[in-house]
Amino acid sequence: MEKKLLYLKVKEEIERSINEGELQPGDRLPSEPELAKKYEVSRPTLREALKMLQREKILISRNGVGTYVNNRSDFIINPLSKLQSVGQMIKNRGYTESELDIKIYTREPEEDWKTQLQIDEPVVVLERSRTANGDKVAFYYNIFPQSLVTGHFAGEFSGAIFDFLKNKMGINISYAITEICALNSSKVLDQNAIDVLGNEIILLKQLHYDDNDKPIFYSLDYLKNSVFKLFIKRE
């Protein structure tokens, strides 16, 4: 267990260096002895972290030359085990992200939403599209109990929903339970997403919880399959 925690920690530290610009696309990483000393781990532990980053195509290894930060790929790659907003996922891969077609409205919940959120009241839906370098790559619905957000979504909305909840409402999203689903074009919400993104879509149904294990919001996240590559390590 300790070894697993260590190599995941090293992996995250290298990712942080890349995301914050300390390591640029095309940069060569220091040698294995230097990295092992920097992160205070054994070389086998370091190699496990590097292997994971290579499988995710964040790093590339050139035989006899060294390990390099990969030039930005055409994919937005993210582990399912890591909870991030869609906007942050886009920015982490070096794209310029923006949002379009923002709508906020109140409606009666579907039965599934009532079950997930443990409510019997109307919901407030935040609907919008996300772009990467101007291209629409994601479309989603964030669904909240009306009593939770009344007065908070007045006027225009933009930015990361996690930041909004934390900074404006004092709610920290601790984790999410995610279901990967097939689309059903006979459902209005799914068809709306197809109209925006096309047919090749990944649908994530996600229930987000706060630090007290209370369900805060439910989301339907439609991601363009040709752009997003989501993965998880199974053991």
Residues 94 and 131 occupy one common structural domain: yes
Q: Count up the domains in the chain and report the number.
A: 2
pLDDT at 112 over 90: yes
pLDDT for res 180: 94
**138-184 per-position pLDDT tens digit:** 999 999 999 999 888 876 777 889 999 999 999 999 999 999 999 99
What number is the average pLDDT over the span 101-105? Answer: 92
Query: For residues 195 and 93, which has the higher predicted lDDT (pLDDT)?
Result: 195
Residues 119 and 140 occupy one common structural domain: yes
Biggest CA–CA distance in the chain, Å, is: 63
What number is the average pLDDT over the span 61-68? Answer: 84
Q: 223: domain range?
A: 76-231
pLDDT at 4 over 70: no
Residues 55 and 103 occupy one common structural domain: no
pLDDT for res 73: 59
Residues 218 and 159 occupy one common structural domain: yes
Residues 82 and 170 occupy one common structural domain: yes
pLDDT for res 64: 76
Say if pTM beats, i.e. exceeds, 0.95. Answer: no
Q: Which of 22, 38, 69 is the last residue of a domain?
A: 69
Residues 119 and 210 occupy one common structural domain: yes
Q: Which of 69, 88, 115 is the last residue of a domain?
A: 69
- For all residues of the chain together, what is the average pLDDT? 88
Residues 10 and 109 occupy one common structural domain: no
**25-40 per-position pLDDT tens digit:** 888 999 999 999 999 9
pLDDT for res 3: 47
Q: Do the beta carbons of residue 136 and residue 100 sit within 8 Å?
A: yes
Residues 108-117: contacts with CB within 8 Å, 24+ apart?
109/143, 113/143, 113/218, 116/207, 116/215, 116/218, 117/143, 117/145, 117/207, 117/215, 117/217, 117/218
Residues 116 and 47 occupy one common structural domain: no
Residues 20 and 112 occupy one common structural domain: no
CA angle 100, 101, 102 (to 5 degrees): 95
**Backbone torsion region of residue 156, taken as left when φ is above 0, otherwise alpha when ψ lies between -120 and 50, otherwise beta:** beta
pLDDT at 203 over 70: yes
Residues 162 and 218 occupy one common structural domain: yes
Residues 190 and 143 occupy one common structural domain: yes
